[in-house]
A and B are shown apart, each in its own frame.
Chain A
Amino acid sequence: DTEVTQTPKHLVMGMTNKKSLKCEQHMGHRAMYWYKQKAKKPPELMFVYSYEKLSINESVPSRFSPECPNSSLLNLHLHALQPEDSALYLCASSQDVAMGTGSPLHFGNGTRLTVT
C-alpha cells in the first residue's frame, strides 16, 4: 500500500465545473509534487512544493491551481478544464528538498480525471 493518499480515485467533471484533487502524506517529507500522466506515457511534472512554497511551475495553464496548506497536504484546484486535460494525476513526495540528491519519489495511486 502506498503511503501517499490521493482522493478521489476517479473524477468526472464538465468543462464548467470547479473541483479539487487532494493528496496527503505523513512521512515527514518536505517536497511534494503534482504530475500528469497520459496512458502508457511517462509522468509529466506540473508543480513542485518545497517547504510548502511553490518552487517549480512547469508552464502549467492557469486552469490548474496548486495549493499546499501544510507540509502534509497538497491540493490541485481545477477550473474550466478541457477534454485534453483528461489523464491520471499523480501526487508524489520526497524526503529532501534539495535538487540532485538521492531521495526517491513516493507516488500515490493517482486520480483518474475525465473531462466531458
Chain B
Amino acid sequence: AQSVAQPEDQVNVAEGNPLTVKCTYSVSGNPYLFWYVQYPNRGLQFLLKYITGDNLVKGSYGFEAEFNKSQTSFHLKKPSALVSDSALYFCAVRDPTREYIFGTGTRLKVLA
C-alpha cells in the first residue's frame, strides 16, 4: 500500500537556525513527492515537488527538499528559519494509480 509518514507532530526551532521537517514514503514505482504549507484559516499552499532529476529540489520562500531514494525520504529544509515560517506542513505523494496521499502533518514553530 502507498503511504507517507511524517514522524514528528511538532518541530521547534530558533529563528535563524536551520530547520528540517521529515517525511518518508512507501510507494511502488517512481514516486511524485510534494510539500505543502498551511497557515491558520487558509488552504494548503504548494511549496515544491520532486518528479525526477536532481535530488535537491528548490521551492518557494527559500525552502528546499532532498530526495533520498535509498532511505525513501523527502525531508524539507531551510537554511535559516523565520518566525513567519511557523505553520503546518504536509508531505504528499502521488502515484500512478490514485490521487494524493497526505502525511499527517508537522507543526513547525519558529521561536524568536
Contacts and interface: CB of A to CB of B under 8 A. Distances in A.
A38 B71 CA distance: 31
**Range class of the B interface residue count:** 20 to 34
A90 B96 CA distance: 23
B98 A42 contact: no
Contacts of A42: 90, 102-105
B63 interface: no
Contacts of A41: 104-105
Contacts, number: 61
B72 interface: no
Contacts of B94: 99-102
A41 to B, nearest CB: 7
Contacts of B103: 42
| Interface SS of A by simple majority | loop
A101 B94 CA distance: 8
A100 B43 contact: no
Given A99-B98, A105-B100, A43 B41 contact: no
Interface stretch (B17-25, B44-52, B73-81): B44-52
Contacts of B49: 102, 104
Nearest to A58: B99
A4 B43 CA distance: 10
B34 to A, nearest CB: 6
B98 A105 contact: no
A101 B98 CA distance: 10
A2 B103 CA distance: 22
Nearest to B29: A100
Contacts of B42: 109-110
5 contacts: A2-B45, A42-B104, A99-B94, A104-B46, A105-B46
Nearest 9 pairs between A and B by C-beta?
A100-B96, A107-B43, A42-B102, A102-B51, A104-B46, A107-B44, A109-B43, A109-B42, A108-B43
